[in-house]
Amino acid sequence: MRYILLPLALFSLSFASIENISTFKADFVQSVTDEKNKVLHYNGNVIALKPQNALWKYSKPVTKDVYMNPQTIVIIEPEIEQVIIRKVESNFDFFNMISHAKKIGENRYETSFQNTKFNIRTKNEMVESISYKDEFENQIEIVFKNQIQNESIEKDLFVPKIPKDFDVIKD
């Protein structure tokens, strides 16, 4: 679980061009490499709406939907019929942070938040990947494909649909 929550919390609003953007949609592959070089891969798609709304739909290796807004993160895990609801404890605004990223090379940027350095690669004015080391010393890389930005997105997409018979855990 920790491999998913930190990248989501830190990254929920980063799916954008370095320039001005209000929405973002993409497929993604998230790779988590631990200190023993063991790699976990997660696949899915993401939809984001500025300022702080995102829906991460994981499809592999497990199915789960992660809804993010400025107040909460809701994780719906159909395979175990469980929902986890967590309050957001920081004022992390990645759209703001990424807009202040410094160019360090062609299509390469760097920015920081709470002692974590993020490396951002772009292609055709869109974020192609973001990588960083998490608090557990795991190397995280999220690579995007089929990016679409600034297309209209309905805000109600970010309202979790919690099945009535699922167990709900509130952190």
Q: What is the CATH number of the domain that holds 143?
A: 2.50.20.10
Q: In this structure, what token pair is assigned to residue 37?
A: 């070089």
Domain that holds residue 105: 2-170
Residue 11 — left, alpha, or beta (φ > 0 → left; ψ -120 to 50 → alpha)? alpha
Give the residue with greater pLDDT, 114 vs 30.
Answer: 30
* Single-letter amino acid, residue 58: Y
Q: Decide if pLDDT at 2 tops 80.
A: no
Give the residue with greater pLDDT, 168 vs 93.
Answer: 168
- The pTM of this model reads 0.81
Q: Summarize the confidence of residues 48-71 as an average pLDDT.
A: 91
Number of domains in the chain: 1
Q: Decide if pLDDT at 94 tops 60.
A: no
CA 78 to chain centre: 20
SS3 166: coil
**Nearby residues of 85 by Cβ (< 8 Å), 6 or more positions away:** 72, 73, 74, 75, 168, 169, 170, 171
Q: Decide if pLDDT at 1 tops 70.
A: no
